């Protein structure tokens, strides 16, 4: 029997299992591209207005760090600038989750052993997941290209932008294939891929923001930077795709090599064995939940802290630029000068940060489902631990963990910027308050995940779709300036922008109550349904 036997059957199985989720993440990038290009055509119809917008972006190091530079002051160039980071997050995240779900997660839960006992080869699961994700990325590329061409944009630039979306997806699919071979659990594998994504994003951000000071080579060290370096609609660099292809092939070869040499169920990174007897402090569900979540939480907190230092540094750099550029300073004068500009930069950063923190909250909340699916909860509930006590312990860690990761960003961003301006006592508290204001919205997303897990556990994955929908509403609202009733569908839109508009307690109270209701509904459903 060949090591690839049964690949076709597994492809059909993956398509069957992901028949609801797959179309969603295929449709999101093209839909967003259509919204962006339509908005730019409507809001910036003349070449002069497009050039003015591009000049504002180029002269803003903070904005360049967050979203990248504009390669060309045209509708095509602006569309590529505005849509690339969003597409990177969606496409890369979807590829990572899909590959790990159908490789390491299936192996962890024992499904692979059932499949392997038949006519399924050793490399078939990895091959099937890669084929599905590569095919989905090609569909995304075709849809993006067709949408841009339909708006009358140049074919070459449209193809380059569409292929860059597919290329970043392929890269992270191959990277997830390697991570699935390294770790013994799906959670650790996802954490590895997520940490590498953050590293690549930071390399691109620092390289792009400091391009004029000779640090653009950092962008060449990051596949996310390669997307911008393709330069769609600005004299396309087709040779950059060779970098993507080389990285993809190398990662796939590494994944196959490790897969053929390790034992089923094992990984290269072996977990450290714990002591034979538990310490007294570990003899409670809350202590057990902390034990299970602590490493993941520390990794997330570290990533948020690094991001906070970067944003604090870039805010000071942007303020210095305004101080030395009278023309640019006049441009932002009606917003309140450099102070208002840095506050707007921090507010934009917090918007992205809120989405990422919500992803952590979903992951931490759905750890309950992982414990149930893998059968470990049976051993806990067989003792004197009630369902409610077990579930609320994990939820408490998820809620407290959200506070920790946001605090890590707020403290480091406020401290870094405060030290650079010599006013830590003023900047740090206001940055921390502005960051923690996103907690109720994050808890609402966690509440949705808990409600689905408790009431309809097989639809728990829809919580990721809900987060994607909230992000899309935010992005569409920002771009098209839609009505407030539509914007209010996203809990993140109801968070007061503390740095630019002050604190408003009523939305925060309302969101907290909504999160509480969703969590209670999930707990009631969990108590009444059967385990497993």
**Tens-level pLDDT at each residue, the chain (532 residues):** 567 777 888 888 888 888 888 888 888 889 888 888 888 888 788 888 888 888 877 777 667 777 778 888 899 888 888 888 888 888 988 899 899 988 888 777 666 666 655 666 677 888 899 999 999 999 999 999 999 999 899 999 999 999 999 999 999 999 999 988 888 777 778 878 888 888 888 888 878 777 655 567 788 888 998 988 899 988 889 999 999 999 999 999 999 888 877 766 666 666 666 666 767 667 778 888 888 888 788 888 888 888 888 788 777 666 555 555 454 444 444 333 445 567 777 877 888 888 889 988 998 898 888 888 777 787 787 777 888 888 899 899 999 999 999 999 999 988 888 887 778 888 888 889 999 999 999 999 999 999 999 998 888 888 888 888 888 787 766 555 666 677 778 898 888 888 777 778 888 999 999 999 999 999 999 888 887 6
Gyration radius (Cα) of the chain, Å: 24
Task: Give the model's pLDDT for residue 330.
Answer: 47
DSSP annotation of 102: I
Cα 161 to Cα 488: distance, rounded to the nearest angstrom: 31
Task: Give the model's pLDDT for residue 328.
Answer: 44
CB 86 within 8 A of CB 32: yes
Task: Give the model's pLDDT for residue 199.
Answer: 84
The tokens describing 490, both together, are 């996203």
Closest CA to 491 of 434, 439, 435: 439
Cβ neighbour number for residue 347 with a 10 Å cutoff:
15
Q: What is the mean pLDDT of the chain?
A: 82
CB 391 within 8 A of CB 523: yes
Closest CA to 55 of 320, 313, 310, 325: 325
Task: Give the model's pLDDT for residue 481.
Answer: 60
Cα 147 from chain centroid (whole Å)? 24
Task: Give the model's pLDDT for residue 477.
Answer: 65
């Amino acid at each position: 029997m060949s090591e690839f036997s049964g690949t076709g059957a597994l492809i059909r199985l993956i398509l069957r299992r992901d028949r609801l989720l797959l179309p969603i993440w295929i449709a999101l990038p093209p839909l967003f591209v259509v919204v962006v290009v339509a908005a730019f055509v409507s809001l910036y119809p003349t070449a002069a207005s497009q050039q003015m917008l591009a000049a504002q972006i180029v002269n803003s190091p903070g904005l360049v760090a967050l979203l990248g530079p504009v390669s060309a002051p045209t509708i095509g160039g602006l569309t590529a600038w505005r849509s690339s980071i969003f597409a990177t997050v969606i496409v890369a995240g979807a590829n990572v989750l899909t590959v790990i779900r159908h490789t390491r997660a299936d192996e962890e839960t024992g499904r692979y052993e059932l499949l392997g006992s038949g006519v399924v080869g050793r490399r078939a699961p990895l091959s099937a997941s890669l084929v599905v994700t590569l095919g989905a990325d090609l569909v995304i590329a075709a849809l993006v290209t067709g949408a841009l061409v339909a708006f009358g944009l140049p074919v070459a630039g449209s193809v380059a932008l569409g292929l860059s979306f597919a290329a970043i997806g392929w890269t992270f699919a191959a990277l997830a294939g390697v991570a699935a071979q390294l770790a013994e659990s799906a959670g650790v594998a996802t954490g590895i891929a997520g940490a590498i994504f953050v590293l690549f994003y930071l390399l691109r951000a620092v390289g792009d923001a400091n391009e004029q000071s000779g640090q653009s080579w950092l962008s060449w060290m990051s596949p996310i930077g390669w997307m911008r370096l393709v330069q769609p609609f600005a004299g396309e660099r087709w040779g950059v795709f060779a970098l993507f292809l080389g990285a993809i092939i190398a990662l796939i070869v590494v994944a196959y090599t490790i897969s053929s040499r390790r034992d089923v169920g094992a990984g290269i990174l072996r977990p450290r064995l714990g002591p034979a007897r538990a310490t007294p402090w570990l003899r409670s569900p809350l202590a057990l939940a902390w034990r299970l979540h602590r490493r993941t939480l520390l990794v997330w907190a570290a990533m948020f802290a690094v991001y906070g230092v970067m944003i604090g540094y870039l805010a000071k750099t942007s303020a210095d630029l305004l101080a030395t550029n009278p023309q640019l300073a006049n441009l932002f004068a009606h917003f309140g000068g450099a102070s208002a500009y840095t506050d707007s930069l921090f507010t934009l950063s917090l918007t992205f940060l809120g989405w990422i923190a919500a992803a952590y909250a979903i992951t931490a909340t759905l750890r309950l489902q992982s414990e149930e699916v893998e059968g470990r909860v049976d051993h806990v509930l067989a003792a004197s631990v009630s369902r409610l006590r077990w579930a609320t312990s994990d939820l408490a860690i998820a809620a407290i963990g959200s506070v920790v990761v946001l605090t890590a960003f707020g403290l480091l961003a406020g401290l870094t910027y405060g030290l650079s301006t010599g006013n830590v006592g003023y900047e740090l508290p206001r940055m921390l308050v502005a960051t923690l204001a996103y907690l109720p919205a994050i808890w609402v997303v966690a509440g949705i995940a808990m409600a689905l897990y408790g009431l309809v556990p097989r639809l728990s994955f829809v919580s990721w779709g809900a987060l994607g929908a909230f992000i899309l509403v935010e992005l569409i609202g920002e771009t098209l300036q839609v009505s407030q009733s539509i914007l209010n569908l996203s809990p993140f839109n109801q968070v007061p922008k503390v740095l630019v508009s002050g604190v408003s307690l009523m939305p925060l109270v309302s969101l907290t109550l909504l999160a509480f209701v969703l969590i209670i509904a999930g707990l009631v459903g969990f108590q009444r349904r059967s385990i497993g």
